[in-house]
Chain A
Amino acid sequence: GAVVSQHPSWVICKSGTSVKIECRSLDFQATTMFWYRQFPKQSLMLMATSNEGSKATYEQGVEKDKFLINHASLTLSTLTVTSAHPEDSSFYICSASGNRGADTQYFGPGTRLTVL
């Protein structure tokens, strides 16, 4: 089946530092990748949509200068949380969609970010 990986699986950082999270589609080419965040006991909230080779589209309320997204290839997208603060602590999940069917998204295992 479609496999999406994320790295790292968890990260702890100090307030003010930047953190990069990678999302890779391992066995298919992902024309579109999505980034979500999930707070405890809550559902997934879409942050942004990224298409390979173009700028990401951010959802309302998501600061594009704080959450930098790069989709440099058909198998890799990165999310950089710049100048992270404790309120950015969350579970960040990516998903990828490609030639497996329109709108079918396959999710990565998630990255737990804790900002101290």
Chain B
Amino acid sequence: QKEVEQDPGPLSVPEGAIVSLNCTYSNSAFQYFMWYRQYSRKGPELLMYTYSSGNKEDGRFTAQVDKSSKYISLFIRDSQPSDSATYLCAMSLMTTDSWGKLQFGAGTQVVVTP
């Protein structure tokens, strides 16, 4: 079983709809949670990061962490065709031995249709 599970999609939504993405994880020791966006043949771009349970909002993006359920989500409001990309969740233990070692989900491909 992978430590981080993420549905690979593709997830197709019409322009203007809310995109809902999620990841589940098995290691309750994960402390730091991130979402990255990756366009085809490009490196990942950091969208959001959070250390704690709850919601964090940044523009059209909302990241949600539920440590008790070991579940994180990313919501994209008012989706645009330019949001079409692969979205990767990542998390870290933040211990001395594992500092900087991110566990990535498989990535969800999102397609926003005009």
**A44-B104, A46-B101, A49-B100 are known contacts. Are A103 and B41 too (CB-CB below 8 A)?**
no
Cα A112 to Cα B43 in complex, Å, equals 11
Q: Give the residues from 85 to 106 in chain A that come closer than 8 angstroms, CB to CB, to chain B.
A: 91, 93, 95, 97, 101-106
Q: A8 at the A/B interface (Cβ < 8 Å)?
A: no
Q: B18 at the A/B interface (Cβ < 8 Å)?
A: no
- Which of A32, A103, A109, A112 counts the most chain B CB atoms within 10 A? A103
Interface secondary structure of B, over-half rule: loop
Q: What A residues does B43 contact at CB under 8 A?
A: 4, 6, 93, 95, 107-110
The reply to whether A103 and B106 contact each other, CB–CB distance below 8 Å, is no
Q: What A residues does B8 contact at CB under 8 A?
A: 41
**Which single member of B41, B100, B101 contacts A91 (CB below 8 Å)?**
B41
Range, interface on chain B: 20 to 34
Cα A91 to Cα B104 in complex, Å, equals 16
Cα A106 to Cα B36 in complex, Å, equals 10
Q: B94 at the A/B interface (Cβ < 8 Å)?
A: yes
Cα A93 to Cα B49 in complex, Å, equals 20
Q: B57 at the A/B interface (Cβ < 8 Å)?
A: no
Q: What A residues does B60 contact at CB under 8 A?
A: none
Q: What A residues does B34 contact at CB under 8 A?
A: 104
**A43-B107, A103-B94 are known contacts. Are A49 and B44 too (CB-CB below 8 A)?**
no
Q: What B residues does A43 contact at CB under 8 A?
A: 88, 104-107
Cα A44 to Cα B104 in complex, Å, equals 7
**Which single member of A6, A32, A112 contacts B100 (CB below 8 Å)?**
A32
Instruction: Name the residue on B nearest A94 (C-beta).
Output: B43
Q: B45 at the A/B interface (Cβ < 8 Å)?
A: yes
Q: B102 at the A/B interface (Cβ < 8 Å)?
A: yes
A-B contact pairs, 11 of them (CB 8 A): A34-B100, A43-B104, A46-B102, A97-B100, A103-B32, A104-B49, A107-B36, A107-B43, A107-B46, A110-B41, A110-B43
